[in-house]
Amino acid sequence: MQPERFVNRGALGAVALLALGCPEPQLQQGDGSVDMSLSVADVVGVPNLDDDNADGDPDWTDRDKDGDDDLSSFSFVDGTFPSLRDGGVVTVTLEGDVEQIRIRSGDDILLGEDDGEVKSALELRADPGELTVEFGDYLAAGTLTVTHHRRNGTTAHTLTATLLASPLIVNHHDMTATRVWAVDGLFGGANAALIEGYEDALGDRFAGARARDYDNDPWMQDEVEYASVSGPDGLAMEIVIDSIRDRGLASFATREIVGADAARGVWGRGEASSQDSFGNLETTPPVTVDGVHYPYGRVYYGYPGELVGPDDWWIGRVHQDLRDFLDDQTIQDPFEADVGWLCVGHVDEYISWIPDPDAPKGFWMLIADTVSAYDILESMDPSTRLPRYSANDGHGYATVGQILNDAGLRRENEEIQEERLDAAVALFGRELGLNEEDIIRVPDLFEPVPGYGGCHAAMIPGMVNLIVANFGEGDDHLFMADPFVRSSLGDQREDPFIAHMHEILPPQYELHFLDDWSVYHAGLGEVHCGTNVQREPAGDWWNTAAPLLEGVVR
Amino acid sequence: MKRLLLVVALLLLPSSASADAFADLDSAYAAGLDAHPELFAAVAVAQPRTTRAGTLRFYADAHMLDPAATPAIAHRLVHGDDSDDVRRALAERLLRVDSSWDGLRLRLLTTDTSDAVRAMMVASLRTMAPAPAREGLEAALGDKSSRVRREAVAVVARRPDAADLVPLLIPALADAAPDVRLQAVRSLDAVAPAEVLALPAFGALLHDPDPRVVKATRRALE
């Protein structure tokens, strides 16, 4: 008997091969191998949310698919339909998220969502030619059941093939950087030093968004969070999670990023709290916790915790819609960290990550540390003058000694260390299976912001709030704030905090200490807050993250 | 109305070192306007920028950071018609000015209708000379706004002469506002000798209804 089967012909990573004429239906790869490497589903693709034809609408909403490269194609192999000439028929049914899946033949939608209607069954008496699978949402999952009915009505074979769209995978620092963004020309060029620092180090891998186009909004980190979806055979799409904060940079994603192979999504609506900004949404590098491997790390974000001070009008939790969505993506298993003690209230104010193959777990967790900051200050001549700290936009300290003699400041930082930072070490240790050997402590002091009711911000510009621009092949950079703990502002070699950072950070990175004082530090942010990084899309999650997706489709 | 209340308050105030502060401001403003008309014009229309926290602050603005702009900033704060949020941002620009502005800052601390502005003026006491700072702290600790009192209690521990100011903090342990009691515990923990922490008023806070106060007290007594 002639075997009847269908195989993928394009972007399909998994190939469902239906051997209607064989004693047992089986699945196999496109190369004929029966060794199915995709344990998560038989057919994997990406949600078709970008705008390949540049018509301004997500491609999922377009009937015409000309130029669309985000569909997975397959077809019945030669010889399948001749066997139906005896009067048999093949029925194909689609179950699951049928509103978010389409089985197409050319422009015809055979199964799934079609202009608001749902087709869930199809009868074939002839070869339909090449078919495509299109997904409309993240983790859209379905089951395609193909049944060969003999002429006499009996069933010859039934085969089910599972379909699954990529989850949204939030970028982490261990993904290769492709482009670094900051807003250029802020307040008439007040951030020129930071921009020049990026341009000098990165050349055309740095992109400046024009400040006048974005109402001088410095906080590039806060408006968007980069993520991706991916599938076999090179299917990949950048996804911008667009914040509901919607300040000056609200249109950034649409103007600069969205298009072919790049889409945006917004989760939540209404009045945003500070926690809805994406300095408050970060992802760890890949990590294994209690035997569970998270190949794309774990998402984390801040929650108010124990609020400090009465000025909490802007404090909230990350919007429920976004939290629910991130939970639903499953493979990055989000958790929350306390940011209630910070005026801005973002996790990037005190924690970051640096990939390092020589580290015990392949990365370092960086956390702000007040103890080492005081150690360094106490090692300095107390008469050391601090021009930046005594300036009109400074912190009211003329010398190192004045900082050291501020008993209230020391008491504040001791409490922050014990109750917030050490608690964060414990939390991240539990959630990520980390211990002391995985941590680099970055010296910093926090200060109650005058008149803000007792909440805190970095007093020494927060170096932990850094940018990892790892382009690979020895071209890896760390950008962070110049701490300016020195008399001679133009000589970074004189700064003991910078010297300390050179000692504790991995040597393969080129370190850049940018002057972010007048725009970012004075605006209660630092280098990371004013920058964002695009990265290469996630890899083969359908293989590496399969254990985390058990039950999603199969 | 806000300005009217300010004027009424000024008339009711007893004389002090800051009594002529507003007249001094007007004089300084007139002189500055002659010397720096463009700078003063820029200050008059400057708008604060939004910080990452969403609050307003004058940053990355050369005009507002120019020491010569201080009379214009202070004049706008006192005589302008800005919103409370903008006035707080204006007040913040007076944190780092020189001691010739102490009198004005003390007047604003006691008379401004906005507790956010008064709290900002209290914050300026951190770097002020001992005598005017004590005057300001005594006034601020009796302010009707717990926000102002909390700021005052916090500032005491930030000053180089904090040990001399410890007695000012003791009454704050019994303040009606938990934020003030909490900050009083923290400040005393930072600067007070052991015998102060042994006072019944301090130990009583181990039974405070606010768990944050209890926690801070326990930490101080450990």
Tens of pLDDT, residue by residue over A500-519, are: 999 999 999 999 999 999 99
pLDDT of residue A127: 73
| Chain A residues whose beta carbon lies within 8 Å of the beta carbon of residue B197 | none
Over residues B70-76, mean pLDDT:
98
In which band, very low, low, confident or very high, does the pLDDT at A162 lie, cut at 50, 70 and 90? Answer: confident
Over residues B47-73, mean pLDDT:
95
Residues of chain A with CATH 3.75.10.10: 170-543
Name the DSSP letter for residue A330. Answer: -
pLDDT of residue A7: 44
Q: What interface predicted TM-score (ipTM) does this complex get? A: 0.91
Is A346 among the catalytic positions?
Answer: yes
In which band, very low, low, confident or very high, does the pLDDT at A293 lie, cut at 50, 70 and 90? Answer: very high
Task: Give the number of residues written for chain B.
Answer: 222
Tell if the CB–CB gap between A309 and B60 is shorter than 8 Å. Answer: no
Task: Tell me how far apart the alpha carbons of residues A472 and A265 are, in angstroms, rounded to a whole number.
Answer: 29
Domain ranges of chain B: 1-7+20-128
pLDDT at A414 exceeding the cut of 50: yes
Q: Which two tokens stand for residue A72?
A: 């997975």
Interface of A with B in 42-101 (CB under 8 A): none
pLDDT of residue B17: 53
pLDDT above 90 as % of chain A = 73
* Average pLDDT value for chain B: 92
Q: Which two tokens stand for residue A425?
A: 């070490």
Q: Which residues contact A335 (CB under 8 A, 6 or more apart)?
A: A298, A299, A300, A427, A431
Task: Tell me how far apart the alpha carbons of residues B222 and B210 are, in angstroms, rounded to a whole number.
Answer: 19
| Chain B residues whose beta carbon lies within 8 Å of the beta carbon of residue A415 | 186, 216, 219
pLDDT of residue A306: 67
Tell me the pLDDT tens digit for each residue of A418-447. 999 999 999 999 999 999 999 999 999 999
The residue of B39, B50, B52, B127 whose CB has the most chain A CBs within 10 angstroms, and thus the best one to mutate to test that interface, is B52
Cβ contact A533:A180 at 8 Å: yes
Tell me the pLDDT tens digit for each residue of A442-483. 999 999 998 788 899 999 999 999 999 999 988 999 999 999
**For residue A406, what is the nearest residue in chain B, using CA coordinates?**
B158
Cβ contact A70:A62 at 8 Å: no
Q: Which two tokens stand for residue B213?
A: 């106060």
E strands within A266-424?
Answer: 281-283, 287-289, 292-294, 299-303, 335-338, 351-355, 363-369
pTM above 0.80, yes or no: yes
* Average pLDDT value for chain A: 88
pLDDT at A400 exceeding the cut of 80: yes
Residue keyed to tokens 């006048």? A212
CB nearest A408 (choices: B52, B120, B190): B190
Tell me the pLDDT tens digit for each residue of B75-107. 999 999 999 999 999 999 999 899 999 999 999
pLDDT at A77 exceeding the cut of 60: no
pLDDT at A12 exceeding the cut of 70: no
| Chain B residues whose beta carbon lies within 8 Å of the beta carbon of residue A393 | 59, 65, 96
In which band, very low, low, confident or very high, does the pLDDT at A32 lie, cut at 50, 70 and 90? Answer: very low
Task: Give the number of residues written for chain A.
Answer: 554
Tell me the pLDDT tens digit for each residue of A342-397. 999 999 999 999 999 999 999 999 999 999 999 999 999 999 999 999 999 999 99
The residue of A452, A517, A521, A531 whose CB has the most chain B CBs within 10 angstroms, and thus the best one to mutate to test that interface, is A452
Name which of A26-30, A263-267, A345-349, B21-25 the model is least confident about. Answer: A26-30
Tell me the pLDDT tens digit for each residue of A316-337. 889 999 999 999 999 999 999 9
pLDDT of residue A28: 36
Sequence letter at residue B29: Y
Of A97, A222, A242, A444, the active-site residue reads A222
Task: Tell me how far apart the alpha carbons of residues A251 and A12 are, in angstroms, rounded to a whole number.
Answer: 34
Over residues A286-303, mean pLDDT:
97
pLDDT at B136 exceeding the cut of 80: yes
pLDDT of residue A43: 84
Check if A216 contacts B (Cβ < 8 Å). yes
- Cβ neighbours of A123 (radius 10 Å): 10
Sequence letter at residue B51: T
Please give the CATH architecture assigned to the domain spanning A170-543.
Answer: 5-stranded Propeller (3.75)
> Considering only CA atoms, which of A180, A177, A174, A252 is closest in space to residue A210?
A252
The residue of A246, A392, A399, A447 whose CB has the most chain B CBs within 10 angstroms, and thus the best one to mutate to test that interface, is A392
